[in-house]
């Protein structure tokens, strides 16, 4: 099951079911009641018992303010979320408010961090209630980047990062104690700006992995179990890789899954000649024991660039990349399951897409095993497994696409100039 929602009473359940039927139509979900219980302390105990036996990927207790046990809009209970919809009862909320509450509850695990010498993932309080926000790690050469681009000195080491979309987007760095120490404004156009918010102490990235080992291992194991449950009906897991953190993590999950199930894994890298992650693709394949097929579409890409660059309105580049994937896909034998590293934090459209669905462009079933992860959790997993990570992340990128992407921010363009 994808989503398990608990509410107080039957009328609340009817309202939630109506919202899910409209906004989550292709998800596997279940809505249950707590028998009309009104006492917040009893509600928490009942919810804990119900969720304990649930195998859902996300577990959300949705309440009105009369019976909500916390102070803010959401409380992460380290396994499930309690969310206040803002009305007296859930049944009084609009469908969009109900869905917003569910999305906040699903985002709570990846946005919850406790700072005790190092950041502890999926612990403590939410850094933000913005469901579009994402976490990241900044380490190594990142402090050199800040010195080069902004003339600001940070003590060398690792920092925890929260990136929030907006107009313009911003990224805030936190030190080992959870104190915000740096803000980066990253507009689409113009120049990025960096502001020092205060002094801070970095943490050690190796200590981060040690302190979060159990959480990272559980995340990985849960992803393998989830993918394995879906993959039992298929003959081949097919993973497009880019050298980016998300596709690398998905390939690692797929390899572990296929080892357990005794089925095949195939991977492809489509080379446009402008990919930012191409430097580590071969190393990733070698580390995981996978022969990653290389499809060169750079000639077609160059022809397209001579006519026009990709724009937000005309992303012809996506079609060129898909043509490379299709070349490999058509030669695979048996039933194929596409494994893609899409994550909820990337966009609301991706958040509302179920973790198992049909890819309409490639016409094959697709699964997203890291859908509910934060960027810091993905990087932490790669560190834990000792897998190659592109140096571009270390200098300050938070995603790796193409160097001609129309979605590049001023920050990314500045980093590209710096890395040349």
Give the homologous superfamily in CATH for domain 212-389: HUPs (3.40.50.620)
Q: What is the pLDDT of residues 3-23, one digit of tens each?
A: 999 999 999 999 999 999 999
Q: Buried b vs exposed e over 214-244: b needs ≥16 C-beta within 10 Å? A: ebbeebbeebbebbbebbeebebbbbbbbbb
Sequence-separated (6 or more) residues with CB below 8 Å from residue 103? 131, 348, 351
Model confidence at 278, pLDDT cuts 50, 70, 90, reads: confident
**How much is the pTM?**
0.95
User: Is the CB of residue 59 less than 8 Å from the CB of residue 7?
Assistant: no
| Rounded Cα gap, residues 309 and 21, in angstroms | 40
Q: DSSP state, 268?
A: E
Number of C-beta neighbours around residue 413 at 10 A: 16
Mean pLDDT of 395-413: 86
Cα separation of 47 and 64, whole Å?
Answer: 15
Question: Hey, where are the domains in the chain?
Answer: 3-113, 132-208, 212-389
pLDDT tens profile 41-87: 899 999 999 999 899 999 999 999 989 987 889 999 989 999 999 99
Q: Rounding to the nearest 10 degrees, give the CA dihedral for residues 368, 372, 375, 376.
A: -130
Q: What is the reported pLDDT for 306?
A: 80
Angle between helices 10-23 and 95-111 (to 10 degrees): 80
Q: Which residue, 285, 270, 246, is CA-closest to 370?
A: 246
Average pLDDT for residues 373-386, to the nearest whole number?
98
Structure confidence at residue 59 (pLDDT): 98
DSSP state of 274: -
User: Is CATH 3.10.450 correct for 132-208?
Assistant: yes
* Spatial separation of the C-alpha atoms in residues 371 and 344, rounded to whole Å: 5
SS3 102: helix
- What is the predicted pLDDT for the residue at 402? 83
Backbone phi, psi, residue 350, to 5°: -70, -30
Note the pLDDT tens digit of each residue in 315-328. Answer: 778 888 889 999 99
| pLDDT tier at 302, thresholds 50, 70, 90 | confident
Which pLDDT band holds residue 213 (cuts at 50, 70, 90)? very high
What is the spatial distance between Cα 413 and Cα 188, in angstroms, rounded to a whole number?
A: 9
Helix (H, G, I), strand (E, B) or coil at 299: helix
309, pLDDT greater than 90: no
What does pLDDT average to over the chain? Answer: 93
Backbone angles phi, psi at 19, to 5 degrees: -65, -45
- b/e per residue 282-291 (b: at least 16 CB within 10 A): eebbebbebe
User: What Å distances lie between residue 156 and 144, 145, 147, 153, 380, CA to CA?
Assistant: 8, 11, 11, 9, 19
């Amino acid at each position: 099951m994808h989503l398990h929602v608990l509410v107080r009473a039957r009328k609340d359940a009817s309202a939630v079911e109506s919202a899910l039927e409209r906004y989550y139509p292709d998800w596997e979900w279940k809505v249950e009641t707590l028998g009309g219980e009104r006492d917040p302390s009893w509600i928490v105990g009942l919810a804990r018992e119900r969720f304990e036996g649930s195998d859902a990927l996300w577990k959300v207790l949705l309440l009105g303010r009369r019976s909500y046990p916390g102070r803010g809009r959401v409380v992460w209970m380290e396994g499930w979320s309690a969310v206040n919809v803002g009305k007296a009862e859930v049944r009084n909320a609009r469908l969009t408010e109900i869905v917003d509450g569910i999305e906040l509850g699903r985002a709570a695990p990846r946005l919850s961090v406790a700072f005790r010498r190092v950041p502890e993932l999926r612990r403590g309080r939410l850094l933000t209630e913005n469901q579009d926000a994402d976490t990241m790690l900044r380490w190594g050469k990142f402090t050199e980047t800040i010195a080069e681009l902004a003339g600001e000195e940070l003590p060398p080491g690792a920092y925890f990062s929260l990136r929030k979309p907006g107009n313009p987007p911003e990224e805030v760095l936190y030190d080992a104690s959870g104190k915000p120490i740096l803000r980066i404004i990253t507009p689409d156009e113009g120049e990025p700006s960096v502001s020092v918010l205060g002094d801070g102490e970095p943490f050690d990235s190796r200590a981060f992995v040690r302190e979060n080992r159990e959480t990272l291992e559980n995340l990985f194991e849960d992803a393998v179990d989830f993918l394995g449950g879906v993959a039992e009906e298929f003959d081949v897991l097919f993973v497009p890789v880019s050298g980016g953190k998300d596709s690398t993590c998905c390939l690692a999950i797929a390899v572990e899954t296929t080892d357990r199930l005794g089925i095949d894994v195939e991977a492809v890298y489509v080379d446009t000649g402008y990919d930012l992650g191409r430097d580590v693709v071969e190393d990733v394949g070698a580390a995981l024991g996978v022969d990653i097929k290389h499809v060169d579409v750079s000639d077609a890409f160059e022809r397209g660039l001579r006519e026009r660059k990709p724009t937000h309105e005309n992303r012809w580049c996506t079609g060129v990349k898909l043509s490379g994937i299709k070349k490999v896909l058509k030669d695979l034998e048996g039933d194929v399951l596409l494994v893609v590293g899409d994550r909820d934090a990337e966009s609301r459209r991706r958040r509302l897409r179920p973790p198992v669905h049909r890819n309409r462009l490639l016409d094959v079933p697709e699964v997203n095993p890291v859908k509910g992860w934060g960027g810091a959790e993905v990087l932490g997993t790669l560190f834990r497994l000792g897998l190659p990570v592109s140096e571009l992340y270390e200098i300050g990128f938070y995603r790796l696409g193409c160097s001609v992407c129309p979605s590049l921010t001023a920050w990314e363009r500045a980093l590209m100039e710096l890395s040349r």
